[in-house]
């Protein structure tokens, strides 16, 4: 196994290199959402290739039809297991007025690294990279590949196309994704499941224009009221229970062991409420909240448009309306089936409503037990001093599902970000504590995989 002292010295010795690399990366505004930054995206890819090459890896830019993927790594032997580390190098926009500094001017203060992309996901990528370099220096019998996407923040539209290039992006024996957030500082939490998603637009047109209710009301149909009736038929607004027939048929309920593991994550109801500005919730029970946000499907109403939205009341009967909804899905549900059930149900209740899908993501179910999970647990314990809780995520990461479909290999998570780091928020930062412990955890994880051998 790895020598603790050598690793400690390596990490201390790597600090300035880590800070220099992170600083340069943060200062490239790689905002995939904004076409103005196309040049920066290219610069980001080139810088990433340079860093990998500087550390002795082979690396290349892989074209995808959109922004490229950076792929690289070290090969130590064909009989050794190959692991791919997934991170992304694109970032969220940073126009929020709350920024206390220029978001793309890297600022280092007291072990904190400030700037857009520092925690999502450039800092974690570099921690994994330096952890990998150490494991290889120590002669770990493993092939390590880095896969750095540049379109994660826009839903990975060309990632699947990129993965088709099996020469530049070979299929590994397992994957580790480092792009997730713990629930609480000091309590490592690694997800093993993600919810899926299907959005839908329900539109109803009953006239060519808005009419006066004094003149037409009573005889005119009201599309907004009809759409509200549909929303009511689909979901019990008080409990959140979805009422679409067949909706829960394929749901796999979390086991007692899973719920027990959720409870180790450091989740607190008060902090959850504060973080999202909630005054009240549907339930106060921590285990039930975690089950609901991570392991249960939902039906949400996001918007209802049409009619009059100005001050006061204007007595129009709208000619059309649109209801925007989505369903979060859990393992074994599929967006295709959930949409079909919705469409069939709405069609039966109100055939004049048009139902159209919008955005589809499959849920992901990873490993909750077995040798890979044990390896993550031991590595996180070695890095962070505490065994991680295995939790699920309520959101979706499209790239994860794409890798699972393309490769059919175990996908594990080792996220390094904390809730206070400000993912997708103003004043984003990363910190040396998470970076250095992360390097340690990754180095140990690679050693664990080396020990497991090719499976």
Q: Which residues bind Zn ion (CB under 5 A)?
A: 120-121, 179
Pairing of strands 112-114, 364-365: unpaired
| 179 versus 322: smaller Cβ distance to Zn ion | 179
Instruction: Name the percent of the chain in helix, strand, coil, to the closest 5.
Output: 40, 25, 40
Whole-number minimum distance, CB 31 to Zn ion, in Å?
13
Whole-number minimum distance, CB 117 to Zn ion, in Å?
9
CB 316 within 8 A of CB 211: yes
CB atoms within 10 A of CB 177: 27
Rounded distance between C-alpha atoms, residue 180 and residue 311, angstroms: 42
CA dihedral 78, 369, 2, 383 (to 10 degrees): 130
CB 190 within 8 A of CB 358: no
Which segments of 125-257 are extended strands (E)?
143-149, 174-177, 189-194, 196-205, 211-212
Rounded distance between C-alpha atoms, residue 303 and residue 300, angstroms: 9
Whole-number minimum distance, CB 378 to Zn ion, in Å?
25
**Measured between alpha carbons, how far apart are the two ends of the chain, in Å?**
19
Whole-number minimum distance, CB 161 to Zn ion, in Å?
20
Whole-number minimum distance, CB 173 to Zn ion, in Å?
24
Whole-number minimum distance, CB 80 to Zn ion, in Å?
29
| 127 versus 261: smaller Cβ distance to Zn ion | 127
| 191 versus 321: smaller Cβ distance to Zn ion | 191
Pairing of strands 58-62, 107-109: unpaired
Mapping DSSP to helix (H, G, I), strand (E, B) and coil, where does residue 263 land?
Answer: helix
Whole-number minimum distance, CB 292 to Zn ion, in Å?
24
| 121 versus 258: smaller Cβ distance to Zn ion | 121
Q: CB-based contacts of 247: which residues, under 8 Å, 6+ apart?
A: 297, 299, 327, 338, 341
Going by the DSSP 8-state scheme, the letter that residue 417 receives in this structure is B
| 291 versus 421: smaller Cβ distance to Zn ion | 421
| 121 versus 448: smaller Cβ distance to Zn ion | 121
Contacts 24+ apart (CB under 8 A), 378-382: 378/444, 378/448, 379/414, 379/441, 379/442, 379/444, 379/445, 379/447, 379/448, 380/188, 380/190, 380/414, 380/441, 382/440, 382/441, 382/444
| 23 versus 395: smaller Cβ distance to Zn ion | 395
Whole-number minimum distance, CB 68 to Zn ion, in Å?
17
Left (φ > 0), alpha (ψ -120 to 50) or beta: where does 17 sit? alpha
Whole-number minimum distance, CB 147 to Zn ion, in Å?
14
Burial of 96 (0-12, 13-18, 19+ CB in 10 A): middle
Query: Residue 178 to residues 256, 383, 384: CA-CA distances in angstroms?
Result: 27, 14, 15
| 120 versus 431: smaller Cβ distance to Zn ion | 120
| 325 versus 399: smaller Cβ distance to Zn ion | 399
Whole-number minimum distance, CB 423 to Zn ion, in Å?
7
Cα 213–214–220 angle (5° rounding)? 40
| 147 versus 353: smaller Cβ distance to Zn ion | 147
Whole-number minimum distance, CB 44 to Zn ion, in Å?
14
User: Which token pair is 49?
Assistant: 């290739």
| 60 versus 87: smaller Cβ distance to Zn ion | 87
């Amino acid at each position: 196994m790895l020598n603790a002292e050598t690793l400690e010295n390596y990490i201390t010795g790597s600090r300035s290199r880590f800070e220099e690399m992170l600083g340069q990366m943060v200062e490239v505004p790689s905002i995939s959402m904004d076409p103005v930054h196309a040049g920066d995206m290219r610069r980001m890819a080139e810088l990433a290739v340079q860093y990998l090459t500087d550390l002795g890896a082979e690396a290349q830019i892989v074209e995808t039809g959109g922004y490229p993927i950076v792929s690289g790594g070290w090969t130590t032997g064909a009989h050794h297991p190959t692991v791919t580390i997934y991170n992304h190098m694109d970032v969220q926009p940073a126009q929020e007025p709350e920024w206390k500094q220029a978001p793309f001017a890297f600022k280092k203060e007291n072990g904190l690294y400030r700037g857009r992309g520092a925690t999502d996901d450039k800092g974690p990528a570099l921690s994994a990279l330096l952890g990998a370099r150490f494991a290889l220096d120590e002669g770990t019998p493993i092939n390590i590949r880095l896969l750095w996407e540049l379109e994660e923040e826009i839903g990975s539209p060309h990632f699947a196309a990129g993965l088709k290039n099996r020469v530049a992006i070979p299929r590994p024996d397992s994957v580790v994704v480092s792009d997730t957030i713990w629930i609480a500082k000091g309590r490592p939490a690694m997800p093993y499941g993600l919810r899926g998603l299907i959005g839908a637009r329900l539109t109803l047109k009953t006239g060519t224009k808005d009419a006066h209710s004094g003149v037409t009301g009573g005889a005119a149909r009201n599309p907004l009221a009809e759409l509200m009736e549909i929303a009511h038929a689909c979901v019990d607004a008080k409990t959140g229970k979805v009422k679409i027939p067949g909706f829960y048929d394929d749901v796999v309920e979390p086991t007692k062991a899973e719920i027990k593991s959720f409870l180790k994550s450091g989740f607190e109801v008060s902090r959850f409420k504060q973080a999202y500005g909630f005054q009240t919730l549907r339930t106060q029970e921590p285990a039930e909240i975690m089950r609901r946000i991570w392991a249960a499907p939902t039906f949400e109403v996001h918007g209802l448009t049409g009619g009059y939205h100005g001050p006061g009341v204007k007595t129009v009967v709208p000619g059309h309306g649109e209801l925007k909804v989505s369903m979060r899905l859990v393992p074994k549900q599929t967006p295709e089936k959930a949409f079909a059930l919705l469409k069939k149900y709405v069609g039966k209740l109100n055939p004049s409503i048009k139902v159209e899908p919008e955005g589809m993501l499959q849920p992901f179910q990873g490993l909750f037990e077995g040798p890979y999970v044990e390896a993550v647990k031991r590595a996180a314990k070695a890095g962070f001093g505490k065994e991680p809780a295995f939790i699920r995520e309520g959101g979706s990461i499209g790239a994860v599902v794409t890798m699972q479909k393309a490769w059919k290999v175990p996908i594990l998570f080792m996220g390094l970000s904390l809730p206070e780091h400000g993912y997708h928020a103003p004043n984003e930062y990363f910190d040396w504590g998470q970076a250095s412990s992360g390097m340690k955890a990754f180095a140990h994880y690679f050693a664990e995989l080396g020990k497991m051998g090719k499976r």
